[in-house]
Structure 1
Amino acid sequence: MKKIIPIEEGDSYWTEEGYRVFTEQFHLKRGYCCESGCRHCPYGYDPKTNRQ
């Protein structure tokens, strides 16, 4: 089971379309890449090549 990380100030923001976007701060706190092609991924994942 994955560890639950509480959302804190600066971990995310809402787009005009109503989507929650996680920031680099949150991804680093989580500690791993989920390989979903996140907008602010600090791990360098490229969904086109499926590689980090």
Structure 2
Amino acid sequence: MTKRAAPARQWPIDQLVEGVHYYREDGLMVLTEAYHLARGRCCGNRCRHCPFDHINVRSKRG
């Protein structure tokens, strides 16, 4: 029996459009507010343009 690969992570949008859903900064892809609204929830990654007030971001304890 062979193991199946895990399914690829699905984007909430079929096709990302540069300048609408993301832009590039210093070689990195920065997701825009429009992308996050299409996603529909805070992912908890402290995204720069989070329209959900970072509600799923865990506080740093330390």
| TM value normalised by structure 2 | 0.63
Q: Alignment RMSD, CA only?
A: 2.4
In the alignment, does 2:55 pair up with 1:14? no
Aligned equivalent of 1:32, options 41, 57, 62: 41
Deviations 1:14-50 (A, max 9, x none): 00x1000000000001111100000000000164737
> Residues 3 and 48 of structure 1: is their aligned pair in 2 closer, same or farther, counting only changes over 3 Å?
closer
In structure 1, list runs of 5 or more residues that go unmatched. Answer: none
Letter in 2 for 1:26: Y
Q: Calculate percent identity across the aligned residue pairs.
A: 37
Q: CA deviation at 1:8?
A: 2.5
How many pairs are equivalent?
49
Runs of 4+ in 1 over 3 A off after TM superposition: 46-50
In structure 2, list runs of 5 or more residues that go unmatched. Answer: 1-6
| TM value normalised by structure 1 | 0.73
